[in-house]
Amino acid sequence: MSSSESVKSLTELVQQPCPPIEASKDGKPPEPSDPPASDSQPTTPLPLSGHSALSIQELVAMSPELDTYGITKRVKEVLTDNNLGQRLFGETILGLTQGSVSDLLARPKPWHKLSLKGREPFVRMQLWLNDPNNVEKLMDMKRMEKKAYMKRRHSSVSDSQPCEPPSVGTEYSQGASPQPQHQLKKPRVVLAPEEKEALKRAYQQKPYPSPKTIEDLATQLNLKTSTVINWFHNYRSRIRRELFIEEIQAGSQGQAGASDSPSARSGRAAPSSEGDSCDGVEATEGPGSADTEEPKSQGEAEREDAPRPAEQTEPPPSGTPGPDDARDDDHEGGPAEGPGPLSSPATATAAPAAPEDAATSAAAAPGEGPAARSSAPPPSNSSSSSSAPRRPSSLQSLFGLPEAAGARDSRDNPLRKKKAANLNSIIHRLEKAASREEPIEWEF
DNA sequence: TCTCAGTCAATAGT
DNA sequence: ACTATTGACTGAGA
């Protein structure tokens, strides 16, 4: 068993025409049915059963640094060039749903920011790209899917069977499914623009609201607190991701690239898209307290963009996510409270005002019920927190990355890099401080 | 417990 | 039909 041995098999494995999907999807019961067309295997002997010599996880662990941005770029090209959809690609190659694929392709995170699990799709994409035959295969699959669909449709037309959602294969079955599905399906909550507005506003004042604030927010907006909590979680990470891509794009304007080295860190406040009239980008403070601290320096640091509201906004003082209210010094509940953060100054139209008004539409039903949870068998597994033995050379060729790692040079914009570095360290310290409870002195 | 990373899946947009 | 967006959920850390 020499390690070289395993690398060798690894190489072979990867070199095979077909991507080693599956590996072990473990977990989620409702998923394993994803195998491709489900109706007939074209000619692709997907290694769906048994295990291959190496699990994809191992591959990931041993993978050299990949250029996620470059990979997604190529994948996008290939998909569009060949008219292949994200759904098919995602389900057959990545084992992910269309939405996830879309997200991944549009906002890839830099390799270093990815967890082992998060790297998996990228390794799969890379492997997939390595063999041009894979495209053909996918196209074949698409054709077959279509054919099968047509067939099914015809037969059902002449055969009654009104049911049948027109989705490709994927019949459920799934063995012994108790089929509890008739249950109410919890209508998806859709936040109204005004509600989002209010939430964004609140976020700007306090990216990490205390439970109490959340509670208030929920009450005022007539939403469930869990919705508000989720919204903050989602919003924070979305913003973070937005920064990543900006970082990548800024760092590689021109050549594909790179990714990892922390480069420019410019950022806007939010992904914005709709009304984001706010873009308070620098709206740091609403209520009186005009920042206490004051990074005096930054003299030459760029100023124009208020970088990440999140970390920068208010970690310094007391920051810690500690149990004790810590961050939200804002007393909105108190005196003069009024509308709190969401009080949209002028346009009070927002939620707070008229709860009963159907307008809100969204949240509505306050009475949530016991909500039957689906039993979720804890698959766990993965594990394999191997310490990633590095084996670059062969693996690199294995993954066929021509450039990838190479781009770490950084002779792009020295100035920019410098600023970035500076900013980065600041951020770093902020984050650290935030998670630690120490007073630390702010001076950059 | 909280946050985050990753996803799913519904649904809005094209 | 396909893609993009986004609320919710799951599991891992601290």
Ordered mean pLDDT values, 10 residues apiece, chain A (444 residues) = 45 43 38 36 35 75 92 96 95 96 95 93 95 92 85 65 43 40 74 94 93 93 95 94 75 49 38 39 36 36 38 38 43 41 42 37 36 35 38 58 42 43 44 40 33
A95 residue type, one letter: G
| A19 and A112 both lie in a single domain | yes
| A276 and A347 both lie in a single domain | yes
| Number of domain units in chain A | 2
Name the residue among A97, A120, A91, A93 with its Cα closest to residue A108: A120
- DSSP for A199-262, please give it: HHHHHHH-SS--HHHHHHHHHHHT--HHHHHHHHHHHHHHHHHHHHHHHHHHHTSSS-----S-
The answer to whether position A437 is within a domain reads: no
What is the pLDDT, as a whole number, of residue A235?
96
From A99, A119, A141, the end of a domain falls on A141
A376 CB-to-strand C distance under 7 Å: yes
- Cβ-proximal residues to A38 (8 Å cutoff; 6+ apart), any chain: A168, A169, A170, A171
| A38 and A130 both lie in a single domain | yes
| A136 and A198 both lie in a single domain | no
Q: What is the DSSP letter of A181?
A: G
A382 CB-to-strand C distance under 7 Å: yes
A146 residue type, one letter: K
Give the CATH number for residue A113. 1.10.260.40
What is the pLDDT, as a whole number, of residue A311?
39
| A200 and A133 both lie in a single domain | no
What is the pLDDT, as a whole number, of residue A315?
38
| A341 and A199 both lie in a single domain | yes
What is the pLDDT, as a whole number, of residue A217?
93
| A74 and A207 both lie in a single domain | no
What is the pLDDT, as a whole number, of residue A47?
40
What is the pLDDT, as a whole number, of residue A55?
80
CB A285 within 8 A of CB A201: no
Q: Which residues in range 381-440 of chain A are in contact with strand B, contact meaning CB within 7 A of any of its atoms?
A: none
- Å between A441 CA and C12 C1'? 31
A240 CB-to-strand C distance under 7 Å: no
**Structural domain boundaries enclosing A75:** 3-141
Tell me the C-alpha distance between A234 and A273, whole Å: 15
A358 Rama sector, left if φ>0, alpha if ψ -120 to 50, beta otherwise: alpha
What is the pLDDT, as a whole number, of residue A157?
60
A150 CB-to-strand C distance under 7 Å: no
| A208 and A118 both lie in a single domain | no
Tell me the C-alpha distance between A103 and A241, whole Å: 10
**Inter-helix orientation angle A68-81/A116-130, to 10°:** 50
What is the pLDDT, as a whole number, of residue A242?
84
| A213 and A135 both lie in a single domain | no
| A224 and A98 both lie in a single domain | no
What is the pLDDT, as a whole number, of residue A395?
62
The answer to whether position A429 is within a domain reads: no
The answer to whether position A161 is within a domain reads: no
- Å between A236 CA and B4 C1'? 9
The answer to whether position A348 is within a domain reads: yes
- Å between A350 CA and C6 C1'? 20
